[in-house]
Copies of this chain bind each other. A is one copy, B any other.
Amino acid sequence: MGHLAITAKEIAALAGVSRGTVDRALKNRPRISRETKERILKIAEQYNYKPNLIGKALVSSGQKVGVAVILTSVGNPFFDDVKNGIFAAVKAYEDYGIEINLTELKGYNPEELISALENIQDGIENLIITPVDDEKLKGKLQELVEKGINVVLLSSDIDVKGKLSFVGCDCLRSGKIAGRMVGLLSEGHARLCIVTGSTLHPGHRWRVEGVSSVVREYSDIKIVDVIENNDDNETAYLAMKAALNRNGDIDFVCITAGGVQGTLKAIEEDGRKIKVCSFDDIPATKEAMKNGKILATICQQPYEQGYNAVKSIFDKVIAKTHVEERQYSELSIKVDYSIQ
């Protein structure tokens, strides 16, 4: 504290050279003698020179930084807050020329993601995408990375070497948290049915794995069924109905992805007293929490995920600071009174 940062101009004065020469030294550009370069670098280090971001930004004002955003968000309320976060970041950075081009898709079809990628490909240098676990899509994204495009994976993580970052939650951990909640809310006695979304979604698989690993700690909790619903309420209703018919003893349901409304409908119609915990806090979940139909839900900060995906691009392209490759958002449990 106390001293203001030194500027390139001041370094020039101290070294007795021009601003241009200082720039050559600092940026490792050619056409500068060893001696002057070393002299300048020494001064810069001594005074702890850091280029002023505002000065830099002003130069590149008028330059657009285009960002293609492709989300599997149609009909999935979870993404509403993700989008709000994206829009907020775009607004915060608009003076730096950040601009987005948003494509929204329904479901987890890899072909559609690939064709969306092909549509926006011309000239775009930054990409934010919610991928699925598909070899062809992975290959396509790998190709883009190798072309020098900054690729940010949002919400769902797949193995693309050299991607700029993954922004989302640690799904295994979130599953474990849910498993602990099953244990705590049942005081260690439960016949559990796990409800999952899509096996194409690696995060959904991790969650089931997390829940399972933790409930194994309890001698009197048994997983009696694991059902899938593709994040679709109609499918969810039928799958839950069938599971309840198959298993007379279910007294706890853990919904690890979408299809909340459908699942709850089946449970209500069944009439048995069943404890439910869930993931995320979409409006249907909030409503169910207020009515006591869901006791607790595990949330993953969708707004921050959207914001930070855009921030990754900003940090890389404009601020030129280090970008963390795995950006896990905080996981928090909510109950009825947590809801605003």
Q: Does A177 contact B (CB under 8 A)?
A: yes
B184 touches A295 (CB 8 A): yes
Name which of A30-38, A152-160, A246-254, A325-333 contacts chain B: A325-333
- Residues of chain B within 8 A (CB-CB) of A100 are 1
Residue among B62, B177, B336 making CB contact with A4, cutoff 8 Å: B62
Specify how many copies of this chain sit in the oligomer.
2
Q: A219 vs B330: C-alpha distance in the bound complex, in angstroms?
A: 35
Q: Which 8 A-B pairs have the closest CB atoms?
A: A332-B332, A333-B333, A176-B337, A180-B335, A177-B337, A53-B95, A54-B57, A54-B58
* Given known A-B contacts A97-B4, A185-B184, A332-B333, A177 and B54 have beta carbons under 8 A apart: no
**Is the C-beta of A55 less than 8 angstroms from some C-beta in chain B?**
yes
Residues of B near A61 (CB, < 8 A) are 52, 54-55
Chain A: residues with CB nearer than 8 A to chain B? 1-2, 4-5, 52-55, 57-58, 61-62, 64, 94-97, 99-101, 173, 176-177, 179-181, 184-185, 187, 214, 295-296, 299, 330-338
- CB–CB A335/B181 < 8 A: yes
The contact sample of 17 A-B pairs, CB cut-off 8 A, is A1-B100, A1-B101, A2-B99, A4-B97, A5-B95, A53-B95, A54-B54, A54-B95, A55-B58, A177-B338, A180-B335, A180-B337, A181-B335, A332-B332, A332-B333, A333-B334, A333-B338
Distance between Cα atoms of A263 and B101 in the complex (Å): 55
